[in-house]
Amino acid sequence: MSAPSSLPGAPPGPGWLPRPRSPLARAVLPVVGGALLIALIFAATWGIAAWSSRGGAEPSDRLAPSMLKVGGVEAVADTIDDTGPILFPGLNTSSGERTLVLAHEGDDPQHGWHAYWAYPADADPSCGVTQVQETERFTDCRGRQLGVADLALPEGVCPLVDDGSTLYLDLTCGATTPTTA
């Protein structure tokens, strides 16, 4: 047997919440409640992110790999022979300054790999180049025709051949000159 709701200490019955009387209050209260809920969700998300990155957060290879697998050396060398150097746009930024150009010279697919930035060596990163289709030539922001050797040398990027068969771009190697694997 349950106690009637009019007795002191009894649980409130249905409809115990106050009801807004004006149409304005009935329209505004759900919106304010929803905004508060979204603010609480945002605060909880921010709090979790702040807690998980306490003490400094270091990038991991899982989130930002330091090695980019390009493919088999013979297939990539054949592609470059047929269509010219390969461009890798924006490996870690949305600007063109991190666009890489991968080139190959010589007949041995295990050797002769070079990486360059996709801007001229005598200009800054804002002067990006575009490749003349299926050639080893590039056009810079000033309209000049450039060869792949006229592009800027990357710091911290070098092509590596693993086991003589797979080509990688090492994005943290610290090289300041083209690297021959």
Q: Which of 6-20, 82-96, 106-120 has the highest mean pLDDT?
A: 106-120
pLDDT in tens, 113-162: 999 999 999 998 888 899 998 899 999 999 999 999 999 998 888 899 99
> Where along the chain do its domains lie?
19-57, 67-170
Given a contact cutoff of 8 angstroms between Cβ atoms, the answer to whether 64 and 57 are in contact is no
Higher pLDDT: 71 or 11? It is 71
pLDDT in tens, 63-75: 667 888 999 999 9
Rounded-to-integer distance, Cα 113 and Cα 180, Å: 5
Rounded-to-integer distance, Cα 158 and Cα 36, Å: 51
| pLDDT score of 1 more than 80 | no
Given a contact cutoff of 8 angstroms between Cβ atoms, the answer to whether 151 and 130 are in contact is no
Residue with tokens 């329209």: 27
Q: Quick one: pLDDT at residue 96?
A: 47
Token pair listed for 170 = 């090492």
Given a contact cutoff of 8 angstroms between Cβ atoms, the answer to whether 88 and 98 are in contact is no
Closest CA to 70 of 91, 94, 93, 98: 91
Rounded-to-integer distance, Cα 128 and Cα 14, Å: 69
Token pair listed for 118 = 């996709």
Rounded-to-integer distance, Cα 35 and Cα 70, Å: 47
Rounded-to-integer distance, Cα 181 and Cα 172, Å: 15
Class of domain 67-170: mainly beta
Rounded-to-integer distance, Cα 136 and Cα 85, Å: 6
Given a contact cutoff of 8 angstroms between Cβ atoms, the answer to whether 167 and 159 are in contact is yes
